């Protein structure tokens, strides 16, 4: 037992160091958001200062970033609902096919995901302008669904593949049709995987910048695009950017904490195959 604890100490220290390195930019950004510019950019850094939430107030109240938050939420939720719904059914179908049959389709999906976003941004903009969808929610949702769909299908297929085929056979013997096997047998088993897929789809949609820059306008501008308007050479805007960045993180952090139990189950799904 003691030997086991001794071997875990280096692992714990390594994980603690890795966590500290990853949290340092977040902590530094939060400190910048509650400092005046003269304190935030002092050399050497000042760790004793009078905190102020003036920049948080300016971002969310005076500059109306709550409107951009609503836009990001609508686009992200619409993308998740559409992408996960379509991707789950496609993944289930591909998981029931033989590996030789589905391999070509899966490779094609992966190849689509490899395209640089800048290569697709202009065609999406031209198509949205022809259809009159620029500066609308559907334009962003459809573009993000098209981009994130391969990722959703690949991720969900991995969960469906780990479902024992005996469950499907038993349901078919009991008289279930194809839809009932999918909805009553497969979906309940992979439900934790659905939460994981939904979270990653939400993160991809919530943090998207390039397509939001091209396809949105004053009425549908998202948070990443709004934050990009502040910064540059004027250090007075850097504290505003830091306050907005911290505010963007909070909804995702709260969402992940609320779904922590489901996420752990989803990430462990298929680790032990029964």
Higher pLDDT, 1 or 228: 228
Structure-model confidence comparison of residues 258 and 189, the more confident one: 189
pLDDT at 267: 57
Q: Evaluate whether residue 78 is within a structural domain.
A: yes
Question: What is the mean predicted confidence (pLDDT) over 67-74?
Answer: 93
Q: Is position 117 within any domain?
A: yes
Does residue 164 sit within a domain?
A: yes
Which whole number is the average pLDDT over 203-230?
Answer: 89
pLDDT of residue 233: 57
In a domain? residue 195: yes
Q: Judge whether residue 117 has pLDDT over 90.
A: no
pLDDT at 236 over 70: no
Does the structure show a pLDDT above 50 at 1? no
With pLDDT > 90 as the criterion, what percentage of the chain qualifies?
A: 21
Tokens describing residue 239: 């504290």
Q: Is 273 part of a structural domain of the chain?
A: no
Checking if the pLDDT of 38 tops 60, the result is yes
Domain-located, residue 247: no
What residues make up the domain containing 217? 64-229
**Cα gap 252→206, rounded to integer Å:** 9
Q: Which pLDDT score is estimated for 79?
A: 95
Q: How many domains does the chain have?
A: 1
With beta carbons less than 8 A apart as the criterion, state whether 208 and 222 touch. yes
Q: Quick check: is 215 in a domain?
A: yes
Torsion of Cα atoms, 8 then 274 then 93 then 264, to 10°: -30
pTM, two decimal places:
0.83
Q: Which residue has the higher pLDDT, 221 or 38?
A: 221
- How many residues does the structure list for the chain? 274
Q: What is the CATH number of the domain that holds 114?
A: 1.10.3720.10
The predicted structure's pLDDT at residue 5: 63
> Mean pLDDT throughout 208-236?
83
* C-alpha to C-alpha distances, 95 to 66, 82, 143, nearest whole angstrom: 42, 20, 26
Q: Which of 40-54, 79-93, 130-144 has the lowest mean pLDDT?
A: 40-54
In a domain, 182, yes or no: yes
Q: Which two tokens stand for residue 79?
A: 């993308």
């Amino acid at each position: 037992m003691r030997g086991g604890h001794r071997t875990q100490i280096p692992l714990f220290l390594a994980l603690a160091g890795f966590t500290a390195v990853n949290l340092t930019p977040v902590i530094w950004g939060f400190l910048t958001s509650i400092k005046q510019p003269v304190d935030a950019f002092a050399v050497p850094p000042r760790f004793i200062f009078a905190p102020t939430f003036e920049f948080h107030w300016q971002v969310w109240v005076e500059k109306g970033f709550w409107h951009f938050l609503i836009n990001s939420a609508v686009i992200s939720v619409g993308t998740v609902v559409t992408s996960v719904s379509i991707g789950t059914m496609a993944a289930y179908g591909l998981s029931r096919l033989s590996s030789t049959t589905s391999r070509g389709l899966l490779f094609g999906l992966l190849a689509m995901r490899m395209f640089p976003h800048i290569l697709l941004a202009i065609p999406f903009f031209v198509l949205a302008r022809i259809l009159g969808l620029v500066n609308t929610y559907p334009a962003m949702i459809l573009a993000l669904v098209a981009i994130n769909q391969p990722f959703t299908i690949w991720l969900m297929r991995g969960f469906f593949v780990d479902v024992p085929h005996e469950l499907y056979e038993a349901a078919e013997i009991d008289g279930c049709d194809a839809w009932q096997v999918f909805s009553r047998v497969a979906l309940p088993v992979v439900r934790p995987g659905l939460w994981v897929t939904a979270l990653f789809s939400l993160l991809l949609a919530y943090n998207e910048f390039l397509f939001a820059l091209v396809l949105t306008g004053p009425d549908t501008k998202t948070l990443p695009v709004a934050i990009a308007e502040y910064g540059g050479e004027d250090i007075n805007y850097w504290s505003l950017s830091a306050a907005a960045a911290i505010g963007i993180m909070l909804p995702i952090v709260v969402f992940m904490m609320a779904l922590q139990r489901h996420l752990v189950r989803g990430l462990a799904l298929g680790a032990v195959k029964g």
